[in-house]
Amino acid sequence: MESYWAEIRRQLRLAVDRLRAVCRARPQKARALYTKPPDWEGLTFSQKIRWRCRHPDPKVDYAIWADKYWAKQVVAGLFAVPRTYAIIRDPEEISTVAIPNTFVMKATHSWNMSLLVENGIVRGGNRSTKDAGRPSDPTYLRDLAIAWMNSEDHSSLRRAVQPYRNVEFGVIFEDYLCPVDYEIQLFLFAGHCKLALVFSRPFCFENVQHQIYDENWTLREASAAQVTPRVEVPRPPEWLFKALEQLCRPIDHVRVDFMVSGERYYFSEFTFTHNGRNGPGFIANFDSQLGRHWPR
């Protein structure tokens, strides 16, 4: 057991070292005084998210955390991650990369930009079955990447969310994890998990079923669509929470997502705009409570 925890500590040190190395390689921002508004304590979680979209913490390099490719490099060795087949920053380069017949294509950062291809056939996007059934080819993938890059959704996100303005556009091709039993979104405040949203769904985000757990992993809410008797998911292992606490302690709030397959927890992303800044979504009943966990 001692050797197990020694390896966890070693991997955590490596992750922190990778994060520091990436930060040193990027231009540093001025260390300005970061002051929250006078009514901060009375704001809901969603209101605080919207405030931070306009007033990012100058001590945090959000571009590193929010870029899905860089985030995977930071946590590699600490958490399992889907295999990356290719990363491109220019859509014109897609024809030059070697990728298998089954993969997930996603933007390195944005909302609702992903595509599943199985055996060379498009199965759909994260929230759409548009183009499902058509063959995949480099020209189609290039045109899709260009459409993502030039989309109004991508532009409006960069305009509205200051922390994301320095995230460089790119496209990742990665392994399609199957089966995924469920996904977990952990809401961390200064590294401490205060709420967990668990949901199961197909890739195209249909027939979503969710559960919400508090910091003690007590079930607080479940979607009405769930069957009876309700099956509660197990609490993630303690080492995962300890690693996240050390890694995310400098950040007032970040959501960390995992995909769970069997007993393996695959890191998915860090995000600073829950539900695409479009309100609380599934956690609406906990919006005020969660806001109280966000420190001044």
pLDDT in tens, 101-132: 999 999 998 778 999 999 999 998 877 788 89
In a domain, 28, yes or no: no
The CA angle 98-146-85, to the nearest 5 degrees, is: 25
In a domain, 1, yes or no: no
In a domain, 17, yes or no: no
pLDDT in tens, 23-38: 544 544 444 568 899 9
Percent of the chain with pLDDT over 90: 62
In a domain, 131, yes or no: yes
Task: Please check whether residues 200 and 120 belong to one and the same domain.
Answer: no
Which of 119, 146, 174 is the last residue in one of the domains?
Answer: 174
Task: Please check whether residues 184 and 287 belong to one and the same domain.
Answer: yes
pLDDT in tens, 127-186: 778 889 999 999 999 999 999 999 887 787 777 787 788 888 999 999 999 999 999 999
Q: Residue 129 has what pLDDT?
A: 83
**Structural domain harbouring 147:** 84-174
Lowest mean pLDDT among 17-26, 45-54, 283-292: 17-26
Closest to 225 (Cα-Cα) out of 208, 243, 248: 208
Task: Please check whether residues 50 and 190 belong to one and the same domain.
Answer: yes
Please give the mean pLDDT across all residues of the chain: 86
Task: Please check whether residues 213 and 165 belong to one and the same domain.
Answer: no
| Sheet of strand 192-200: strand arrangement | 219-222, 209-214, 192-200, 182-189, 253-261, 264-271
In a domain, 284, yes or no: yes
In a domain, 4, yes or no: no
Task: Please check whether residues 139 and 269 belong to one and the same domain.
Answer: no
In a domain, 19, yes or no: no
Closest to 124 (Cα-Cα) out of 209, 206, 203, 208: 203
Distance CA 133, CA 121 (A): 6
CATH assignment at residue 233: 3.30.470
Task: Please check whether residues 165 and 185 belong to one and the same domain.
Answer: no
Task: Please check whether residues 232 and 90 belong to one and the same domain.
Answer: no
Mean pLDDT within 269-287: 87
In a domain, 32, yes or no: no
Mean pLDDT within 245-271: 95
Which of 109, 139, 174 is the last residue in one of the domains?
Answer: 174
Structure-block tokens of residue 77: 């060795």
Q: Residue 24 has what pLDDT?
A: 46
Q: In degrees rounded to 5, what are phi and psi of residue 219? A: -65, 120
Q: How confident is the model at residue 52 (pLDDT cuts 50, 70, 90)?
A: very high
Distance CA 35, CA 55 (A): 9
CB 44 within 8 Å of CB 38: no
Lowest mean pLDDT among 31-45, 237-251, 281-295: 31-45
pLDDT for 19 beyond 70: no
Task: Please check whether residues 207 and 285 belong to one and the same domain.
Answer: yes
Task: Please check whether residues 50 and 108 belong to one and the same domain.
Answer: no
Task: Please check whether residues 191 and 51 belong to one and the same domain.
Answer: yes
Which of 174, 204, 233 is the last residue in one of the domains?
Answer: 174
- Using the structure block, give the residue that is written with the tokens 């490719």: 69
CB 235 within 8 Å of CB 260: no
Q: How confident is the model at residue 198 (pLDDT cuts 50, 70, 90)?
A: very high
Mean pLDDT within 242-270: 95
Task: Please check whether residues 132 and 197 belong to one and the same domain.
Answer: no
Q: What total number of domains does the chain contain? A: 2
Task: Please check whether residues 196 and 122 belong to one and the same domain.
Answer: no
